[in-house]
Amino acid sequence: MRCTCLSGFLQAKQPRRKLCVLLALTLDGGRAVRDMEFETHELGSAIQLSRGCGRVICADFDGPISLDRLARHVDLDPSTDKYRECAPAEAQFIATRVISHGLVHDGLLVAQEEAENLARSFLNLFPEGPSKSFTNGEFLFIGSMSYLGRWWQVTPERYSSGVLVVGPTRSGVLWVADQGAREAAA
């Protein structure tokens, strides 16, 4: 099984492969990146740089893998009862939401279009039909606003959420963890 992990969370020793093309991505400092092929580590780094806070886990694995093993490989809690299956459209929403907003204070960190592009770039790595997506929480919708309602803690950080994708030939994780002010000071 080959693994590529992002944002320095885990360092794979195998060769990196090119994963996606982002048509437009605005990075910190207003630089526009267009028509670039991003490797997995670059996608995670782009998400981390765009968010500017928290911890980003972005990884993909070749070969079949179970949900609990996938979670364990990136140091998430492997208890499958802490995750629920979600539809592809919901997975896109959750991935976009955790990239674009803080989990503690809910402030906008990344422009919606940029977050959608980053989330889509990750999720497009996995064929929709045979792949299943999972998350650890439920988002509540009040008017046009959405909030992370109930969730199950799966990282050492108090607040974390994202998407795990389990497929027959490839699986991956896009996860964001934020700490509250009290935890960050400790």
* Whole-number pLDDT of residue 28: 31
Does position 19 have pLDDT exceeding 70, yes or no?
A: no
- The whole-number average pLDDT for the span 150-178 is 92
- Phi and psi, residue 164, nearest 5°: -110, 135
CA distance linking residue 136 with residue 128, whole number of Å:
20
pTM: 0.76
- What are the tens digits of pLDDT across the range 144-155? 666 667 889 999
| Residue 33 and residue 22 in contact, taking contact as beta carbons nearer than 8 Å | yes
- Selection from 36, 65, 46 nearest residue 7 by Cα: 46
Task: State the Cα–Cα distance between residues 12 and 169, nearest whole angstrom.
Answer: 18
Find how far residue 39's CA is from the centre of its chain: 15
Q: Residue 28: CB partners within 8 Å, gap ≥ 6?
A: 49, 50, 52
